[in-house]
Amino acid sequence: FGPGDPADGLRNNGKQYVICFLPPLVLNFELPPDYPSNSPPAFTLSGKWLTPTQLTALCKQLDILWEEHRGSVILFAWIQFLKEETLRYLNITSPFELKFGSQENTKRTASAPPTRELCLGGATDSEKGQEESVDERAVQDVESLSSLFQEVLDFDQDHQKKCFNKKAYPCNICFCIKLGTECMYFLNCKHVYCRVCLKDYFEIQIKDGQVLCLNCPEPKCPSVATPGQVKELVQAELFARYDRLLLQSSLDLMGDVVTCPRPSCQLPVVEEPDSKMGICTGCSYAFCSLCRLAYHGISPCRITPEKLMQLPEEYQQADEAGKKLLEQKYGMKVIQMALEEMKSKTWLKKNSKCCPNCGTRIEKFGGCNKMTCTNCMRYFCWICLNSLSRASPYKHFSDPASPCFN
């Protein structure tokens, strides 16, 4: 594969990634005084994604090329071989599984010190076969498989960004054509937008607290902006808000993590197992993770009058998990009392009216519309709830000017 040609994939721990660029093979060489008449260049061949065994095979082939061209300049032939024949020579196929050589092999150094470097484009491969020994000129210059994996991905991402910056793209929001340096794309879907439009879009979402909705503006596209992309576009204050809200949203999704209720603390606290108690490591406050008040053991959580009024509706609208949580928090007895109170208020609202003088609830179960409050003895009209004269209360119903005439 030449530069920019996508490899089919790289696998690591069962994961497979499609990449376009791989770290180069590096040929370090030194020309001896009798080159090229008698001696070949002293060299080392290093790479990150080829194993020491594969690099050894390449080193031996370079030696064979020298023997075939002894007495002639050889560097061009070596470079052409490494650039154009490496894949075929090592029988490379895709997908390619990254492998890491032994610690001893990867840290060997060449006998000749390098004086010049040639960087040659590399690509994906597969193992050709195991050699009996590893040439000390072959160096896999990575520390571990995990670091190798990350370096390959980082190298690919950096070079993809360089290629992206050199081209022009239409923004899918403002429809202006701009250079890649003025644009940004979402990593999963590759949809491109200019930085000005994305900046405005991110700022609006963050100000509204929608930090989990920084997804691609393309309709029905599930791609989400990375924190690094958000930090690159928005101001420091807005990014701090985004970071804080994102952390809080993540903590809210964790069932055993709560926030210390003290306004001066607000640290995340891991709930004690088999209880609803949290002990803040910052301020040592022991609190109930349900009501966020001081820990009260197995006693039901204390409930405010305002919350008691909201409890029946909240309980009726909750699903089974929500009802179980409310029962655990306040106790079934409190919930039953709140439900009965709600039923009583609903019945009173439907079947009674308030006295216009003292507010006592009055039920009308017969007779005319002239009512007498049993609490303050005030006469009033059941229809319009106006007070009536004690001397002639029925005049209200016989006066043609009255709203309740007849």
> Residue 319 burial (CB < 10 Å; 0-12/13-18/19+)?
exposed
| Token pair for 53 | 């065994």
| Sites in the chain below the pLDDT cut of 70 | 1-14, 101-132, 251-256, 303-308
- Residue 122 is predicted with a pLDDT of 35
Q: Phi and psi dihedrals of 166, rounded to 5?
A: -85, -15
Q: What is the DSSP string of 80-131?
A: HHHHHTHHHHTT--SSEE-----HHHHT---SS---EEEEE-----------
- Homologous superfamily assigned to 168-252: Zinc/RING finger domain, C3HC4 (zinc finger) (3.30.40.10)
- Residue 15 is predicted with a pLDDT of 73
Q: How far is CA 380 from CA 384, 400, 404, in A?
A: 8, 18, 12
CATH number of 7-158: 3.10.110
Delimiting residues of CATH 3.10.110 domain(s) in the chain: 7-158
- Residue 39 is predicted with a pLDDT of 92
404 is annotated as an active-site residue: no
| Token pair for 388 | 């009536």
Delimiting residues of CATH 3.30.40.10 domain(s) in the chain: 168-252
DSSP-derived 3-state class of residue 22: coil
Contact 377, 384 (CB under 8 A): no
- Residue 6 is predicted with a pLDDT of 43
**Among all chains, which residue has been given the structure tokens 């000749």?**
112
Q: Phi and psi dihedrals of 43, rounded to 5?
A: -145, 165
- Residue 338 is predicted with a pLDDT of 75
Q: How far apart are CA 313 and CA 291, in angstroms?
A: 18
Q: Which among 176, 221, 358, 368 is annotated as catalytic?
A: 368
Q: Which of 116, 120, 109, 138 has the alpha carbon at shortest distance from 30?
A: 116
- Residue 323 is predicted with a pLDDT of 82
- Residue 321 is predicted with a pLDDT of 81
